[in-house]
Structure formats: structure tokens, C-alpha cells
Structure 1
Amino acid sequence: MITHINQSRYEALIKWLINARKERGLTVRQFAALINESHQFVNKVETQQRALKITEYVDYCEALGVSPEEGLKLLKSQK
């Protein structure tokens, strides 16, 4: 069970999302606009000050064009 958002498995998942955003050439502000959120929201997620809800995670992945399942496999492999 994830007991803290700074757990290394969650950190690996967030880094994966950050890399996907950067690979698409999106800034935090551009990505925030894409998902209709504030740049502060995205910044807090990326600095692990705020955890993503599962529905937000799926929305993130869809906006980045990555598979949510791929991220969950990464999360699972980090045990």
C-alpha cells in the first residue's frame, strides 16, 4: 500500500510522467492548459506535493499519449 507520496515507486511513476511531458516538448504551463488545470496543480504533482487520484492519472496519461497500463507496470516493477 502506498503510505506516502514520496515512496520510491510513486516517485518513479511521476518521473515517467515528467519524461513523457518533456518528450512531447510541453512546458508545465502548456501541459496544464492541455488538461485544463493550473500550472500550480501540475507543479505540485511533479514535485510530489500532491498525489494524483486514479482518474487524474488516467487523464494525465491520455493527454500525454501514454498508456496508463504501462505506468502501472512500471509501478509494479519497482517493488
Structure 2
Amino acid sequence: MASALFSERYAAVVEELAASRRAAGVTQAELAARLERPQSFVSKIERQERRIDPVEFYDWASALGISPTALFEAVISRMRAPRPD
């Protein structure tokens, strides 16, 4: 079994997190400041070098002014969408 960090489903999580940040017009540095974390924290998550836990997911959404539930629903939709070959 492949590592979950590199799975297609986890890639969908990361893609949605990055998309939500960009859609909010927020840079990695700005989001990191809102989270009181270094910019590398956001970068490592978006490059799939670090996993995000549920509390951090909640904080990420909240820092962007997004409902964590809505963000998770977007992740689920992305997981269900067919991936290009």
C-alpha cells in the first residue's frame, strides 16, 4: 500500500487547500502569519512534504474566512472528480 501522504486522495486535499488560499487572494506568507506559523509550514503542506491534521485543517479554513465544513465538502467533490491521465 502506497503512503497516504502521496496518494491521489491526499493530493486532492492539498489541491483544494491551495486553491482555497489562492481564491481568497492570500499568499502563503499571509496565511502563515494568520496561523502564527512560518511560511514554510504552508509551503510544506502545499508541496505534500507535511501532512495537515484535522485541527490545522480547521484553522486553515478559518484563517481564510471559509467554513471548514464547506472546505471539506469541496475536498470530497475533488476526490470524486475524475483525474486527468
The one-letter code of the counterpart of 2:58 is V
Structure 2 residue runs without a partner (length 5+): 81-85
Quote the offset at 1:76 in angstroms: 4.1
Output aligned runs, 1:1-79, within 5 Å: 3-77=3-77, 78=79
- How many correspondences in the alignment? 77
User: TM-score, with normalisation over the residues of structure 1?
Assistant: 0.81
* RMSD of equivalent CA atoms: 1.7
Q: Which has the higher contact order (CA 8 A, sep 6+)?
A: 1
The structure with more radius of gyration = 2
Q: Residues 43, 70 of structure 1: CA spacing in aligned structure 2 closer, same or farther, 3 A cutoff? A: same
**Which is further off, 44-53 or 19-28?**
19-28
User: TM-score, with normalisation over the residues of structure 2?
Assistant: 0.77
Q: Residues 65, 55 of structure 1: CA spacing in aligned structure 2 closer, same or farther, 3 A cutoff? A: same
